[in-house]
Amino acid sequence: SYVFGWADASASLAATLLKLSLFITLSRLIWGIDFSAPLDPKPQRPVVPDIANEEATWSKGFVSAPYPFEVKFAARSATHTELICSSFNAVQSEWRRMRLDVDERQSLSAS
């Protein structure tokens, strides 16, 4: 890859670490969160960007990117919420112990 040099990806420790970290993060998101499009209040239908209309959904330029769009996030169940909150709070406690900056928001609770 261009980012990690011309060597094979398996030979690059940085590329391997990146792939594994990304896999863990995405796996946890998919495991614990339902993603959905928000509903339009009047017809009660999902508001989804028209991917066929490139001018309305993609930026112009050398490197194009999708414009921001609304997404609804919800925990899959009360059990998922409990586990997510307890994991977050445990990490915050560990960061305090190591004298690292913690998230300034209040600790999460499953309520």
Please report the pLDDT score of residue 29 as a whole number: 94
At residue 12, the pLDDT reads 78
The number of residues making up the chain comes to 111
Per-residue pLDDT at 15: 84
- Per-residue pLDDT at 102: 85
Q: Are 32 and 83 in contact (CB under 8 A)?
A: yes
Q: Cβ atoms within 10 A of the Cβ of 81, count?
A: 17
Cα 24 from Cα 43, distance rounded (Å): 38
pLDDT tens-digit profile, the chain (111 residues): 555 555 565 567 888 899 999 999 999 999 999 999 999 888 889 988 888 898 889 998 899 899 998 999 999 999 999 999 999 889 899 999 999 988 877 666 766
- pLDDT value of position 42: 85
H or E element, residue 33: strand 33-36
